[in-house]
């Protein structure tokens, strides 16, 4: 990363860079904050870490307990299976020239991102903080409130 794209000026204090708060359903952290080693869903002791889905902010890791890691994996596989099934129907509809069935499969595919929304952890940079979605209520409730 070049110095031109630094997300904050260097005068920002160490303390300001290193904090973790909540704001509604968001976890708000300083740019260099390490997220505590607790499950991002249930706030229990975490055993596995996962990088967040963001190219610019992929130095941030969230953590999960065994149970929620397994659950996330299962949900991910279900969504993949669902998407594959939709795609197969779409292709079949194309071959058989069944337009109505094809349209239905197409609409079903459009639901994939919506279905996967609760399981995706996304981050964006805003107001000198990183705002992360996808945390569970127990984890959010353990954090102090963010005040802008
Ligand atoms: Zn958990």
pLDDT tens-digit series, residues 100-147: 888 888 888 888 888 777 678 889 988 888 999 999 999 999 999 998
Q: Which of 79-88, 95-104, 136-145 has the highest mean pLDDT?
A: 136-145
What is the Å distance from ligand 1's center to 20 Cα?
Answer: 18
Residues with CB under 5 A from ligand 1 (ion): 39, 41-42, 65, 68
pLDDT of residue 56: 80
Measure 70 CA to ligand 1 centroid, in angstroms: 10
Query: pTM for the whole thing?
Result: 0.74
Per-residue exposure over 4-33, b if at least 16 CB sit within 10 Å of its own CB, e if not: eeeeeeeeeeeeeeeebbbeeebbbbbbeb
Distance in angstroms (rounded) separating the CA atoms of residues 52 and 41: 14
Q: 68 CA distance to ligand 1 centroid (A)?
A: 5
pLDDT confidence band for 66 (50 / 70 / 90): very high
Structural domain boundaries in the chain:
17-141
Cα of 45 vs centre of ligand 1, distance in Å, is 8
Question: How far does the centroid of ligand 1 lie from the alpha carbon of residue 76, in Å?
Answer: 16
């Amino acid at each position: 990363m070049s110095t031109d794209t630094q997300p904050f000026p260097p005068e920002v204090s160490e303390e300001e860079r290193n904090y973790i708060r909540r704001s509604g359903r968001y976890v708000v952290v300083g740019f260099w904050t390490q997220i505590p080693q607790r499950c991002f869903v249930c706030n229990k002791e975490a055993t596995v870490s996962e990088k967040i889905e963001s190219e610019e902010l992929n130095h941030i890791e969230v953590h999960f307990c065994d149970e929620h890691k397994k659950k996330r994996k299962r949900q991910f596989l279900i969504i993949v299976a669902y998407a594959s099934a939709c795609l197969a129907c779409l292709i079949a509809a194309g071959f058989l020239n069944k337009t109505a069935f094809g349209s239905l499969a197409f609409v079903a595919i459009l639901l994939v991102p919506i279905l996967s929304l609760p399981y995706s952890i996304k981050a964006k940079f805003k107001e000198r903080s990183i705002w992360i979605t996808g945390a569970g209520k127990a984890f959010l409730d353990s954090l102090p409130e963010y005040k802008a």
